[in-house]
A = this chain, B = another copy of it.
Amino acid sequence: MAEPAHRRVADAIRAAIERGELEPGARMSTVQQLADLHGVSKETAHRAVRSLVAEGLITATRSRGMYVRNRPRERVIVRDRTVYRDELGYFFDRSAQDWRAIGTPTRGQTVAPAHVADMLEVGREEVVFARDRAMGPPGSTTASQLSTSYLPMWLLTELPVVGKAQTGSGGIYDRIEEHFQVPIEWSEMVYGRPANDEEVAKLGIGEGLPVLVVTRLAAVAPGGRRQVVEINETRMSAEEFAVAYPVQRDASAAWPRA
């Protein structure tokens, strides 16, 4: 056999979904029915089902059946990579401006993930200060994004207010700009990875489905000496959210061309 049976079955089901024969939300045949239909054992049919679950195409719940997922691929909320300001201070996401904290934000000392420690320019074993919060649209009880803010300990020593529960009007960014008397510069990085247990629980994502991680770096350069003052990591369902930004022309790509 060129193509294994379990893959053949998975392909057939996937094709049916993509052709629209199985509509989003529709209940699917049972595993046993799929096995009979394609002339394979129940275990093989189940294996095909497992791949489709891993791909995020269907959901399967014990004793309740399998359903075609209705994926909100159409309604991607697009984040816009520009920093704005209103009376409350800087914000980065116009579509999430009215979102509220879900549950109680936490703060305390912790060891940051390796890549965050590297970007923060502290040792990987070094303790940093972290603020955690879950955000969601007003009225919602489940979070849409998990945000963690990491601060280096030297900044808390130099500017203790950034570690307090109440950081005052404009938050830590205003305190930092007031203290250093220079503008903060931000840059962002996006990557994806499978959701971990915390994200599955708090964001209601399917196990193993991807989350998008937006890592934002805040730096100041008083007197030309650049210092990273904060790393913010925001995690969200990769399926529901997309991040957008303009592409800038380098000098080599100036218009009109020579």
Contacts and interface: CB of A to CB of B under 8 A. Distances in A.
A248 B83 CA distance: 6
Interface in A211-250: 211-212, 215-216, 238-239, 241-250
Interface stretch (A28-36, A74-82, A159-167): A74-82
A209 to B, nearest CB: 7
Q: Which of A90, A194, A196, A239 has the most CB of B within 10 A?
A: A194
A190 B83 CA distance: 18
Contacts of A239: 191-193
Contacts of A115: 73-74, 76
B114 A74 contact: yes
Given A250-B83, A252-B85, A212 B190 contact: yes
Interface in A62-107: 73-74, 76, 78, 81-86, 90, 92
Contacts of A191: 76, 212, 238-239, 241-243
Contact of A210 (B82, B177, B238): B238
B92 A51 contact: no
A183 interface: yes
Contacts of A73: 114-115
Contacts of A216: 247
A188 B247 CA distance: 7
Contacts of A256: 183
Interface residues of A, number: 60
Nearest to A56: B194
Contact of A90 (B55, B177, B253): B253
Contacts of A196: 55
A187 interface: yes
A238 B85 contact: no
A231 to B, nearest CB: 13
A5 B17 CA distance: 32
A16 to B, nearest CB: 15
A205 to B, nearest CB: 11
B245 A81 contact: yes
Contact of A252 (B86, B186, B208, B241): B86
Given A11-B197, A186-B246, A186-B247, 5 more contacts: A7-B197, A83-B247, A183-B255, A192-B239, A246-B248
